[in-house]
Every structure is written in structure tokens, then in C-alpha cells.
Amino acid sequence: MFERFTGDARHVVEGAVDRCERARADAVTEEDMLLAVLDMRGSRASSVLSALGVDRRREAVEGALGEARRFGGISRADAEALAGLGIDVTEIVARVEGVHGRGAMNAGRRFQRWTPGGHRPFAPSAKAVLVRSVRAATARGERRIGDEHILLALAIGPGVAADVLAEYGASPGEIERVLSGGGDGSAAAT
């Protein structure tokens, strides 16, 4: 599958793995992939994020991802669904943190005994992003998978990355609009 990935898309995947390794996490997550997309400069995805103003709110995006990790990776949609069943996720997290300390539920950020040069596996959600990126490229009639397809796959969700992107104005519809040359991001579609 990776032979179809452009250089920028490969940089996103490598950047996500690097972020995971620096955090000494047990697996590469969709959040690692989103942050790696945000790290890109001069690519189609970075043009889309710039056109939507997400690049100027990087710290807020990182904070929102950190807050989601604090909640054990539960997306806003999941929390709302649970609230409909009478389960207050915020209260549960507060109780767990009251006993075990702040961040006790951080998803995917446990310390492991990895050997130098060892490879981190991809979490199921990160694997799903890669599969959706292939589907996004195919749906757009494109043979190569670029970092813009990874961004679109992240936004399509489900998951924390999709929630955060939507919160900051990068819904799948807005990303598609910019990629198709609509609005300020027409350069992104070239």
C-alpha cells in the first residue's frame, strides 16, 4: 500500500511514528498522525489547514488532543452518547484522577521497554486512518495517496482527531471544498 503514498504522505506517517517514539508510547495513534499533518509545510494538507485557519490554532488543537487523551481517548461524540445513557464521563474521569492522579486515563501513553530502533505498532484507529486515506484518494479519482488524503481520512473519523478537526473548522466538507478549489485554498488543489 505504501508504494502509492506520495513523499508528503510518507513524511506524515514517519512523523507520526517519530512522535510516538519520542513519547515512548505503546502505539502510533490517530492523534500522532494529526500532529504530524500539522507539522507539514508546503504540502497540500498544510495548504488546506492554512486556508481553514487551523494552522494558526495549533496550540489549541494540541490542547484539545491532550484533553481527549486525558479522557482515555473518548471522543466528544462518544461522551455525548454516554451522557444520553446517564453516564457522566467528566465525573468518571474526575473520580479516577482523584484516586490515581491527573492523566491517569491517558490513552496510549504508557511507558514500554522498547529497544532502540524497535518499531511501534499502529493502533487500530491509526490503521483505519490509513485505509480511509486510500479510499479518499480513490473516491477523488486519484491514484496516489497524499497527505491531503490522510487529513481527509482523519476528518472523516470517527474519533478524537475528527472531533478536534471539526471543532476548529476542518470538517470533511470544508476540507473537500478547499481541495476542490473553493474559497481561499484554491492553491491547495493544484
Q: Which domains does the chain have, with CATH numbers?
A: 2-69+121-189 (1.10.1780.10)
Provide the mean pLDDT of the chain: 84
What are the pLDDT digits (tens) for 81-117?
888 999 988 888 778 878 877 766 665 444 444 445 5
pLDDT attached to residue 93: 78
**Using alpha carbons only, what angle is made at residue 135 by residues 41 and 184, rounded to the nearest 5 degrees?**
40
Tell me the three state secondary structure of residue 113: coil
pLDDT attached to residue 95: 82
Scored b (16 or more CB within 10 A) or e, 71-92 reads bbbbbbebbeeeeeeeeebeeb
Q: pLDDT 10s per residue in the chain (190 long)?
A: 678 999 999 999 999 999 988 888 888 999 999 999 999 999 999 999 999 989 888 888 888 887 777 777 777 777 888 889 999 888 887 788 788 777 666 654 444 444 455 678 899 999 999 999 999 999 999 999 999 999 999 999 888 899 999 989 999 999 999 998 865 544 443 3
Cell readout for 162 is 475528527
- Give 60's contacts (C-beta < 8 A, 6+ positions apart): 168
pLDDT attached to residue 131: 95
pTM flag (> 0.85)? no
pLDDT attached to residue 3: 83
Q: Whole-angstrom Cα distance, residue 17 to residue 28?
A: 6
pLDDT attached to residue 152: 96
pLDDT attached to residue 67: 78
Tell me the three state secondary structure of residue 120: coil
